[in-house]
Amino acid sequence: MGLQTTDGGYIITGYTYSDNKNVWLIKTNSTGTMQWEKTIGGTGDDFGSSIRQTPDGGYIITGATDSYGAGNLDGLLIKTDQAGNFVLPTDLAKPIGSSTFFSQVSGIRHRLKRVKTINN
């Protein structure tokens, strides 16, 4: 999933695979040249499925995680600043079913009531 950012560039999320899947966050300029990238994940599979730019210029990513929470693809919520650095804890997860995860950021305040902070 990707979208155009307020600076004319693009922000993209999905996953990358090495030993397991990790959330992949990529920021490009307006011509598609990568400015930075971040990977986020633990020992299980984690992936980003939706991303939006927040009013402060940062990003909010939703997806699913097998690394945190109860396992079995719990919901994942990540908030970053403009440079992709974490603003909130890297994982906010609660079991919501093996095939269900956040796919839209709209209405996220309502959904936050169903989310539990996981501390490492």
Strands 21-28 and 10-17: antiparallel
Parse the chain into domains and list their residue ranges.
2-112
Q: What does the chain come to in residues? A: 120
User: Which residue has better confidence, 31 or 73?
Assistant: 31
DSSP per residue, 54-120 = -TTS-EEEEEEESSSTTSSSEEEEEEE-TTS-BSS-S-B-----TT------TTHHHHHTT--B---
User: Which pLDDT score, from 0 to 100, does residue 79 have?
Assistant: 87
Q: What is the pLDDT of residues 1-27, one digit of tens each?
A: 789 999 999 999 988 887 788 889 999
CB 13 within 8 A of CB 48: yes
CA-CA distance, 73 to 70, in Å (whole number)?
8
